Amino acid sequence: MAKPASLTIPTEPIGSIPRPVGLIERVARSDSEDPDLAPLYEDAIADTIERFEATGSPVVTDGEQRKHHNFATYCVHGLANTAPDGFQIPFSDGHTRRLPRLTRGPFRYRRYADCYLDVAMRYAHVPVKQAVISPSALSLMYPAEPIRDYSREQFIDDLLSEHETEIRRCLKKGAHKVQVDFTEGRLAVKIDPSGYLLNSFIDLNNLALSRFSPEERRRIGVHTCPGNDFDSTHSADVDYAQLLPGLLGLKAGNFYIALAGEPDRQHVLKIIRKHLKPDQRIFVGVIAPIAPRIETPEEVRARVLEASEYIPIEQLGTTDDCGFSPFSDDTSTSRDTAFAKIRARVLGTQLAATLIGAHE
């Protein structure tokens, strides 16, 4: 009699890994696009993927080692038609980050994320996922005062076209998943409690997702978290109840939802259960990158088992709450800590799958 196949719960990272300190220091002394930095970037990517695979992670990223400055502006960093005084993101510890401001049209990406995928796939022996920034985040680059001879409507058309192009390039090159980073979702509620800004973001992102077939959407996911920079968040005080119903209305096949750092995980899981659709997979966060303590595999197992009480096992996956270093100069978490946490996620997910499979 054939032995029944063992249960597998998919587990994936979000994206960023802290860069080597030497690389951060060199970038700080020169421009991030200095050709002399190329060997350092290459070494950092090779080392990141080797260490990723050593954790047993079935899916890896390049750790966003080469993304210019941060996860949000890599595609527009260095554009001539931008100014540095754009939308400001406030974090709970008092520091801020800024997006660039568009000064004239047309809007075009300076680089697409598949260029990072090219390098990562040279080193990886397992599937590679690629994170891209959401159209809603980049929409904040358009200023409040209309740009002469370049309307907001024209900008949105160009933005959606560039975003679609980027995702298609990544899918064509064999990305395991393309993850749309929508970390501004909860922030939108904080900025505008009426929900209008969030709804406009959801509508814009759905316009982009509608350009893909159902089959393509199975390889596209959306990530949400309350921010992570220098161990600080920008919107953790916003109730997920204000975000998740709209978020799960997005036409994506996968959702990566920060959960480990939530004070009341069951509250969040109940909302997910209520709004979950049959064709969606929920990757729940079981690792908190902001927390300095390394979770144990047993703690991860418990979090997976808790989530399985609310999400059908065939629609469940695990992930980290956020990238470990979405902004490249963040040294608040070490590379060793990040990979130890990832290993705990992988092992804990396997422990939970074994336990659930044994009881099926």
Contact in structure between 66 and 45 (CB atoms under 8 Å): yes
* Alpha helices, H only, 210-310: 214-217, 244-247, 265-275, 297-308
Q: What is the reported pLDDT for 2?
A: 41
DSSP string covering 119-139: HHHHH-SS-B-EEEE-HHHHH
Contact in structure between 270 and 240 (CB atoms under 8 Å): no
HSE at residue 52, side-chain half, CA atoms within 13 A, is: 30
Q: What is the reported pLDDT for 5?
A: 54
**Three-class secondary structure of residue 94 per DSSP:** coil
| pTM for the full predicted model | 0.95
What is the Cα–Cα distance from 277 to 66, expressed in whole angstroms?
Answer: 35
Burial of residue 22 (CB within 10 Å: 0-12, 13-18, 19+) is exposed
* Kind of pairing between the strands at 101-102 and 82-83: antiparallel
Consecutive 10-residue runs of the chain (360 residues): their mean pLDDT?
68 95 86 82 96 98 89 92 92 88 97 96 98 96 96 98 98 98 93 94 97 97 89 88 96 97 96 97 97 97 98 98 88 93 98 88
What is the Cα–Cα distance from 60 to 345, expressed in whole angstroms?
Answer: 13
Contact in structure between 245 and 255 (CB atoms under 8 Å): no
- What are the backbone dihedrals phi and psi of residue 359, each rounded to the nearest 5 degrees, phi first? -100, 0
Q: What is the reported pLDDT for 331?
A: 82
Sole residue written with tokens 């929900």: 195
Q: What b/e sequence results for 267-292 when a residue is b if at least 16 CB atoms lie within 10 Å of its CB, and e otherwise?
A: ebbebbeeebeeebbbbbbbbbbbee
Structural tokens at position 178: 């393309």
Q: How many residues does the chain have?
A: 360
Structural tokens at position 80: 């001539």
**Three-class secondary structure of residue 149 per DSSP:** coil
Q: What is the reported pLDDT for 360?
A: 67
What is the Cα–Cα distance from 331 to 335, expressed in whole angstroms?
Answer: 9
Q: What is the CATH number of domain 21-358?
A: 3.20.20.210
Q: What is the reported pLDDT for 70?
A: 84
Can you state the angle between helices 196-209 and 152-172, rounded to 10 degrees?
Answer: 50
